[in-house]
């Protein structure tokens, strides 16, 4: 596939079963020129999110924002014509013309940063997880509605080509009626890229708030892919464990989550921590695998962020034969590029689902919070829709 082709993948994506496409502003008018964009937050994940903006004719990056001067100087080379600011308030005071903002802030700052941007009439592409609570998420949705803005919560895994292949196989019924869905996730302590200490401090602060790095932060992707593949979840059962890795710092594993979709399909998610295991990865050391079993065969995605299983990223067993896909784009960075391009193209056309709209992201948040409620009650089944 040509390097630029992936940017259109999201335009034809089906919505999750039973979920209607929703947008924050019914009167949205697509832009008839490149999007004037600001990027707020220049930390580790910026290196991937910027890929949707670099060399993209749909956008003109007019501002970059971060309180860290070293980061501002370093990142300015990516967008030399952009103005540089230390805060959203400083950007607002400049009266610079902005259409949309890429918000890459710690979760605890999402509501404050997002509502400031929305109050200016700027559309927002928000990093996941959306918020720590439903109340906070709703306040952001309300702010988007009040200001006639679009609020999108980015979910890059929906743009991972092996997972898109898996969804295509499932949707076409190639496996027959689906019998079950299994996801395995192993967090490793060795390998991968360098992560700034302040990033981990925010993550550990999140853990103290009862929002673990594996289930809530990284796990947001896994819950999103489950809903994307099989639709709304009607019941969740979870057992969330804890492992101390250094004194005073605990990781939320081992953890097991089971759920049932409204269509009767059941999923199992196994989260394991292997502190001393080396995992080859250009990014985070996370070994992830998805497997869908149908009455006629099974299909699986062998990896995503890390490269633990050195086999084709997508395989399907059918009619006694294992069929492998060797030419899929399985570089995790491509998902950020394609998600960003999808968002910016959407602002130019208004066509297709947002992946995710804020309303859809709230449904992911409900499931995550239902996991915690279930675990607190000894694995009791929880309907996410009962959470208010």
Count of structural domains, the chain = 2
Give the per-residue pLDDT at 5.
36
* Average of per-residue pLDDT values in the chain: 92
Residues 64, 170 share a domain: no
Q: Is the peptide bond before 346 cis (omega within 30 degrees of 0)?
A: no
Give the per-residue pLDDT at 20.
40
Query: What is the per-residue pLDDT across 243-302, written as a single tens digit (0 to 9) for each?
Result: 998 888 889 999 999 999 999 999 999 999 999 999 999 999 999 999 999 999 999 999
Per-residue pLDDT at 14 exceeds 50: no
**What is the arithmetic mean of pLDDT over 220-237?**
98
Residues 192, 98 share a domain: no
DSSP letter for 5, please.
Answer: G
CATH number at residue 255: 3.30.360.10
Residues 66, 140 share a domain: yes
**Distance from C-alpha of 53 to C-alpha of 107, rounded to nearest angstrom:** 22
* Residue among 149, 150, 148, 114 at smallest CA distance from 130: 114
Q: Is the peptide bond before 104 cis (omega within 30 degrees of 0)?
A: no
Question: Can you name the residues that pair with 322 across neighbouring β-strands?
Answer: 317
Enclosing domain of residue 32: 5-157+335-355
Residues 344, 328 share a domain: no
Residues 145, 30 share a domain: yes
pTM, full prediction? 0.92
Query: What is the per-residue pLDDT across 108-133, written as a single tens digit (0 to 9) for each?
Result: 999 999 999 999 999 999 999 999 99
Residues 167, 63 share a domain: no
Listed as own residue / partner, the contacts of 84-88 with beta carbons closer than 8 Å and 24 or more positions apart are 88/40, 88/113, 88/116, 88/117
Give the per-residue pLDDT at 25.
52
Residues 260, 115 share a domain: no
**What is the arithmetic mean of pLDDT over 193-220?**
82
CATH number at residue 139: 3.40.50.720
**What is the arithmetic mean of pLDDT over 156-170?**
98
Alpha-helical (H) ranges within 172-213 are: 197-208
Identify the residue whose tokens are 């004037």.
36
Give the per-residue pLDDT at 193.
83
Give the per-residue pLDDT at 3.
34
Residues 341, 264 share a domain: no
Residues 284, 169 share a domain: yes
- pLDDT class of 26 with cuts at 50, 70, 90: low
Query: What is the per-residue pLDDT across 319-334, written as a single tens digit (0 to 9) for each?
Result: 999 999 999 999 999 9
Identify the residue whose tokens are 């949205």.
28
Q: Please, are residues 227 and 16 in contact by the beta-carbon 8 Å criterion? A: yes
């Amino acid at each position: 596939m040509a390097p630029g082709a992936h940017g259109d993948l999201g335009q034809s994506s089906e919505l999750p079963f039973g979920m209607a496409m929703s947008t924050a502003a019914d009167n949205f008018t697509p832009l008839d020129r490149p999007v004037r964009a600001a990027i707020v937050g220049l930390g580790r994940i910026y290196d991937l999110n910027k890929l949707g903006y670099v060399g993209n004719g749909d956008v003109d990056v007019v501002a970059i924002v971060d309180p860290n001067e070293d980061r501002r100087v370093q990142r300015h080379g990516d967008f030399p014509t952009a103005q540089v600011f230390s805060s959203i308030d400083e950007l607002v005071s400049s009266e610079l013309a902005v259409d949309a903002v890429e918000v890459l802030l710690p979760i605890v700052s999402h509501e404050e940063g997002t509502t400031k941007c929305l109050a200016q009439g700027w559309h927002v592409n928000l990093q996941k997880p959306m918020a720590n609570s439903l109340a906070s998420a709703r306040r952001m949705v309300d702010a988007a509605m009040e200001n006639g803005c679009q609020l999108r919560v980015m979910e890059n895994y929906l743009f991972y080509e092996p997972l898109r292949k898996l969804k295509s196989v499932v949707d076409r019924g190639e496996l027959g009626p689906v019998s079950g869905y299994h996801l395995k996730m192993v967090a490793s302590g060795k390998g991968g890229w360098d992560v700034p200490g302040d990033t981990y401090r925010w993550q550990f602060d999140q853990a103290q708030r009862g929002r673990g790095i594996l289930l809530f932060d990284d796990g947001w992707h896994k819950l999103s892919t489950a809903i994307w593949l099989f639709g709304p979840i009607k019941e969740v059962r979870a057992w969330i464990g804890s492992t101390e890795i250094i004194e005073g710092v605990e990781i939320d594993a081992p953890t097991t989550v089971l759920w049932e979709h409204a269509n009767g399909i059941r999923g199992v998610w196994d989260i394991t921590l292997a502190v001393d295991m080396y995992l080859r990865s250009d990014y985070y050391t996370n070994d992830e695998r998805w497997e869908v079993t149908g009455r006629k065969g099974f299909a699986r995605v062998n990896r995503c962020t890390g490269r633990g299983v050195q086999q084709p990223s997508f395989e399907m067993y059918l009619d006694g034969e294992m069929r492998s896909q060797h030419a899929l784009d399985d570089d995790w960075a491509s998902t950020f590029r394609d998600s960003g391009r999808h968002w910016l193209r959407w602002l130019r056309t208004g066509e297709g689902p947002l992946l995710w709209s804020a309303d859809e992201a709230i449904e992911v948040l409900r499931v995550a919070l239902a996991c915690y409620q279930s675990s607190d009650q000894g694995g009791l089944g929880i309907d996410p829709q009962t959470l208010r």
